[in-house]
Amino acid sequence: MFTGRFEYGIDDKSRVSIPAKFREVLSTNHDLRLILTNLDGCIVAYPYQEWLTIQEKMSNAGAISKGARAFLRYFNSGASECPLDKLGRILIPQTLKGDAHIKKNVVIIGNGKKIEIWAQERWEELVKQVTADPEQIADIVSELGL
């Protein structure tokens, strides 16, 4: 399970370090490969085994709507296998960097079974939106039973 928030810079070769805490989770599964793709304005990184589970769900979905098919094309077209190097870094493909508007600084967050990589500016914008209305936060907390 991935949790936490970490800020990093991307080097000139488009590599970014994966937080040590996340590398520990990945190493417990004996697989230091991530599958990166586009989702929700950021790059989402799935451990390889989780990606296989997602692929299985997609192939078993049966008849799906035209919109869902279009989404799956977009989602799968961005998928790229990215093994961690000996220093715990991954290479972010240029197309995914562009889709997520990443230039130099990123915020890497753990979100359950996946890791999200956000352009720092987009992350800050999201945080402002999420925290702007305390009453809405209270409603969401109640809705989720937290």
Query: Domain residues of the chain, as ranges?
Result: 5-119
Which residues is 119 bridged to in the sheet?
A: 106
The token duo for 121 is 């500016």
What is the pTM assigned to this prediction? 0.90
Three-state secondary structure of 49-96: HHHHHHHHHHHCCCCCCHHHHHHHHHHHHCCEEEECCCCCEEECCHHH
User: Which amino acid makes up residue 30?
Assistant: H
Question: How is the chain split among helix, strand and coil, in percent rounded to 5?
Answer: 40, 30, 30
**Whole-number pLDDT of residue 58:** 86
Instruction: Please say whether the beta carbons of 105 and 9 come within 8 A.
Output: yes
Q: pLDDT (tens digit, 9 = 90+) per residue, 50-81?
A: 999 999 988 887 778 899 889 889 889 989 99
Rounded Cα gap, residues 16 and 9, in angstroms: 7
Q: pLDDT (tens digit, 9 = 90+) per residue, 18-29?
A: 999 999 999 887
Which residues is 107 bridged to in the sheet?
A: 7, 118
For the domain covering 5-119, report its CATH number: 3.40.1550.20
